């Protein structure tokens, strides 16, 4: 149960970061952002109206090539067993997360700040349950929960 809770927490962080970036691209016109909530402002000076934004966004992340690359990197890292170079895996993961940030139009450092714990958490989870690497869908379910 603890394993599932960790993965759901990781998935939630990923979804929030992506949703924040996606929110900027969903609306036209001047707007401000407060914790992922986009507020559109009228050109006539009317009161700002809140706009609902899907903060789940997990399916968008699932289809990002960078998430497949993260899965592939994780599989490659663990191909020889559980004795891995965690620092090197973390560095390669961060490079993938930077690519994801660029692809989503999110600040790279902000993305790394939000995802910085994930590589080491993944190491622990894979060591505890190597079956999460059997295929991408299993990996994704561990990251974001079931579809």
CA dihedral 38, 10, 94, 55 (to 10 degrees): -20
CB neighbours (10 Å) of residue 40? Answer: 15
Taking residues 7-17, report their average pLDDT: 55
Taking residues 56-83, report their average pLDDT: 86
Taking residues 57-68, report their average pLDDT: 80
Q: What is the pLDDT of residues 48-62, one digit of tens each?
A: 554 444 444 556 778
- pLDDT tier at 43 (50, 70, 90 boundaries)? very low
pLDDT of residue 9: 54
Taking residues 59-81, report their average pLDDT: 90
pTM above 0.85, yes or no: no
Classify residue 51 as left (phi > 0), alpha (psi -120 to 50) or beta.
beta
pLDDT of residue 29: 36
Residue boundaries of the structural domains of the chain: 2-28+56-144
How far apart are alpha carbons 30 and 42 in whole angstroms? 8
> What DSSP string describes 71-94?
HHHHHHHTTT-S---HHHHHHHHH
Q: Report the share of the chain in percent with pLDDT over 70.
A: 59
pLDDT of residue 41: 40
């Amino acid at each position: 149960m603890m394993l599932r809770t960790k993965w759901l927490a990781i998935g939630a962080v990923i979804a929030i970061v992506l949703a924040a970036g996606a929110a900027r691209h969903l609306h036209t016109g001047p707007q401000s952002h407060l914790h992922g909530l986009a507020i559109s402002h009228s050109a006539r000076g009317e009161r700002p109206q809140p706009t609902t934004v899907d903060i789940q966004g997990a399916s968008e992340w699932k289809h990002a090539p960078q998430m497949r690359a993260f899965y592939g990197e994780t599989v490659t890292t663990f191909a020889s067993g559980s004795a891995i170079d965690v620092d090197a895996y973390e560095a390669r993961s961060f490079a993938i997360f930077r690519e994801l940030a660029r692809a989503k139009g999110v600040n790279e450092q902000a993305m790394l700040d939000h995802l910085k714990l994930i590589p080491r958490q993944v190491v622990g989870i894979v060591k505890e349950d190597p079956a999460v690497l059997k295929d991408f869908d299993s990996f994704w379910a561990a990251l974001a929960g079931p579809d």
